[in-house]
Structure 1
Amino acid sequence: MIFGIGTDICDVRRMRASLERHGERFAQKILSDGELATWQARSARWPDRGLKYLATRFSAKEAFSKAIGLGLHLPMRWRDCEITNVASGKPEIVLHGALKTWFEARQLTAHVSVTDETDYAASFVVVEHVPVIPTP
């Protein structure tokens, strides 16, 4: 059963302005340690790819926060929601800390899709309630 749906669109130019204003501190506030390392590597080699990476992660976390119905209120925290990719490239949401505990206690699972174009990054998240059926 669907628990919630969230979507978000992010203006990449807004991300650029935030980075110019606040520097790496802005990315450190949004990204988990693993995401931050990826962002730094991409930004060093291809600054535009790094910027789009940051925008897609920001957008996906916003969409996730809407899908779970919390917005950016505890236990939802930017760094406890990590957007990773499996070997095939499919994005996945990996949760940490109190957010992971909250999410698992409700027997939820999440599906995420991200995309970006020149000026925009967009994300769509579906969160399902998947009750665990005990085996006899």
Structure 2
Amino acid sequence: MIIGTGIDIVEIDRFKKIKDLKGIAKKILHTNELEEFNKKAKDQTIFLAKKFAFKEAFVKALGTGFREPYYLDRIEIIKDKLGKPSVVTHEEAKKEFKNLGITKAHVSLSDTENYVVAFVVLET
């Protein structure tokens, strides 16, 4: 059964205007994502925009917004070997995810030169 859906669109230029991209990254990204941001991300602006769009879509699907336990740095998006994204929750968010009975989170990300779009479906 579907618990919720969430969608978010981010204008990449909004992130290009940020002067302290690394400072914002520390607030938005999980530790593992921050490591990838610092070492592997080809274009840090697009990387950060994708992560933010995903997390915003995720909390919209939950219907909670960014609040305890769903803070930005407790939600992580990872990719499998084929590049398919999935969500990982950490700390209290992981417990809450289980308490809500959520067993699957379907994630889709897409981007153009100007925009990033994220879509999330949560189900039991």
CA distance, structure 1, for counterparts of residue 11 and residue 38 of structure 2: 20
Does 2:31 match 1:37? Answer: no
CA distance, structure 2, for counterparts of residue 73 and residue 34 of structure 1: 21
CA distance, structure 1, for counterparts of residue 17 and residue 90 of structure 2: 29
The one-letter amino acid of 2:114's match is: D
SS of residue matched to 2:77 = strand
The number of aligned residues is 123
Query: Which structure's CA Rg is the greater one?
Result: 1
The one-letter amino acid of 1:8's match is: D
Does 2:9 match 1:9? Answer: yes
TM-score between both structures, scaled by the size of structure 1: 0.86
RMSD between superposed Cα atoms in Å:
1.1
Structure 1: gaps spanning 5 or more residues: 130-136
The equivalent residue for 1:53 is 47
The equivalent residue for 1:93 is 87
CA distance, structure 1, for counterparts of residue 95 and residue 88 of structure 2: 12
Does 2:122 match 1:127? Answer: yes
Q: Higher helix share goes to which structure?
A: 1
Q: Post-superposition shift, 1:119?
A: 1.0
The equivalent residue for 2:23 is 25
Runs of 4 or more off by more than 4 Å in structure 1? Answer: none
Q: Post-superposition shift, 1:87?
A: 1.1
TM-score between both structures, scaled by the size of structure 2: 0.94
CA distance, structure 1, for counterparts of residue 66 and residue 113 of structure 2: 27
Question: What's the CA shift string for 1:14-51, capped at 9, x where partnerless?
Answer: 11112x1x3411001001111111111245xx3xx221
SS of residue matched to 2:113 = coil
Structure 2: gaps spanning 5 or more residues: none
Question: What's the CA shift string for 1:101-120, capped at 9, x where partnerless?
Answer: 00111220211111111111
